[in-house]
A and B are shown apart, each in its own frame.
Chain A
Amino acid sequence: MSDIIYNKFDWEVQPPHLHPDYKSTVFRAPTKPLIALKQSLAELSGPVFGDFNLGPLDHDLSKNSIVNGEPLGERIVVHGKVMNENGQSIPNTLIEIWQANSCGRYVHKVDQHDAPLDPNFLGAGRCMTDSEGNYKFYTIKPGAYPWGNHYNAWRPNHIHFSLFGANITNRLVTQMYFPGDPLLQYDPIFLGVPPKGRELLISKFDLSITEDNFALGYRFDFVLRGNNATPFENI
């Protein structure tokens, strides 16, 4: 084994387990201190999905569930780069995507919000980063929805992501938000992140990726945990 050690969670930007304003954390957050673990081969390896053949429309949520017409809502294209803390890009890594439709309704059977389902929109997709760590997918801008955490609790517009990266220390599940959303300042899930990390979850409107007469563009970069193998550099 080499002496590569992956960085731990950076609690300057990562949310704590317990954040009482987000009520579900109260009985689900571990209460005892985490036990430090020396990383072994199990932590320094992880699943690779190179042999999983993505469907031809997996990267286009605006088209991958069409039954009888285009889904309703604002078509967007989201792109960015997956890197680690060392600034190295992470090629050929899988990104899984899920979200509500433009009315703020999830296909999920448990979601009973009184907003319409869209017969032409599932809200699930995935894509891989290319050889330089870049990704891009198309979707419909998700709507806000109420969620019962407290009176008048509304989730800001967001897209859910799941990433694997280099090994299981890199595992990341997160949510991307949209610039200027007035609901962010009231959302306990977003505010569970320390102030220093919050901006990192807000995508940027990007005219350069916006497609004329077709879709608005947003940029969102992911930074996974880095390691001690190379000097830090500014990229």
Chain B
Amino acid sequence: MKQTPSQTVGPYFAYGLTPEQYLYDFRSLADNKMVSFTDHPEAIQIEGQVFDGQGNVIPDAMLEIWLKDSENGLFGRFGTGTETGNKFVFHTLKPKPFANEAPFLSVILFMRGQLIHSYTRIYFEDEQALNAKDEVLNSIPAERRNTLIAQKTKYGYRFDIHMQGDQETVFFDI
């Protein structure tokens, strides 16, 4: 059997996929609070922007984050159209690393102008030892590796996604 072809999520996904975030009267299945800081004082905040090939911030992308480690399977979803600067923001945990593997979050990215979604990963700046010996990171040309590494900030981590250009984010064929 042949796969059903992908089609773009389009510009109007908000009331179907992220309704509460965009204040539509329909219950959301998932949001950007993958954990709460109240229950998990060790939780982290990750924020960033998605840039197109002209350097403009994309205001109608949707990100999904999947965290899988030995303890948790956590899912989050957020559109870039409601925060200041059209940022995305997630509250999540830093995954527990498996042996010799640097911790990472899986990202699935959708937007108008993408006929098929993109996969990337978020690694962490403050995991230098594990990052240095990680098989996946080492399979990526050195000059592009940093596009996958979230930078530590006062508030948590910053992770920008560039669809094109010198800093084009690494996307994976999974």
Looking at the complex, which one of B4, B24, B112, B115 makes contact with A107 (CB distance below 8 Å)? B24
Q: A25-B115, A27-B113, A171-B117 are in contact. Are A13 and B60 (CB under 8 A)?
A: no
With A26-B53, A30-B118, A46-B66 as known contacts, state yes or no: A83 contacts B26, CB within 8 Å: no
Q: Is B155 an interface residue (CB 8 A)?
A: no
Closest to A49 in B: B29
Counting residue pairs across A and B whose Cβ atoms lie within 8 Å, the total is 223
1/0 contact string of A214-235 vs chain B (CB within 8 Å)? 0000000111111000000000
Stretch from A33-41, A71-79, A132-140, A178-186 contacting the other chain = A33-41
Residues of A near B13 (CB, < 8 A) are: 98, 160
Return chain A residues, CB-CB under 8 Å to B174.
Answer: 8, 37, 39, 43, 168-169
A27 touches B6 (CB 8 A): no
CB distance from A35 to the nearest CB of B (A): 5
**Please, how many residues of chain B have a CB less than 8 angstroms from a CB on the other chain?**
65
Partner of B11, one of A110, A123, A226: A110
| Chain A residues at the B interface, C-beta cutoff of 8 Å | 7-10, 12-17, 19, 22, 24-32, 34-43, 45-49, 52, 55, 65, 83-87, 94, 96-98, 100, 106-111, 122-124, 126, 160, 162, 168-169, 171-175, 189-190, 192-194, 196-198, 200-201, 221-226
Q: Is the CB of B12 within 8 A of A98?
A: yes
Which residues of chain A have C-beta atoms less than 8 A from B173's C-beta?
A: 8-9, 34-37
Chain A interface mostly: loop
User: Is B44 among interface residues, defined by CB-CB distance under 8 A?
Assistant: no
Expressed in whole angstroms, the minimum distance between the Cβ of B104 and any Cβ of chain A is 7
Which residues does chain B contribute within 8 Å of A126, judged by CB atoms? 29
> In whole angstroms, what is the CA distance A215 to B46 when docked?
46
B171 interface hit (Cβ, 8 Å): yes
Known: A168-B66, A193-B7. 19 other contacts (CB 8 A): A10-B2, A13-B2, A14-B3, A14-B116, A15-B5, A15-B6, A27-B163, A27-B164, A28-B111, A35-B139, A35-B171, A45-B66, A65-B25, A84-B1, A97-B16, A122-B24, A168-B106, A173-B110, A223-B3
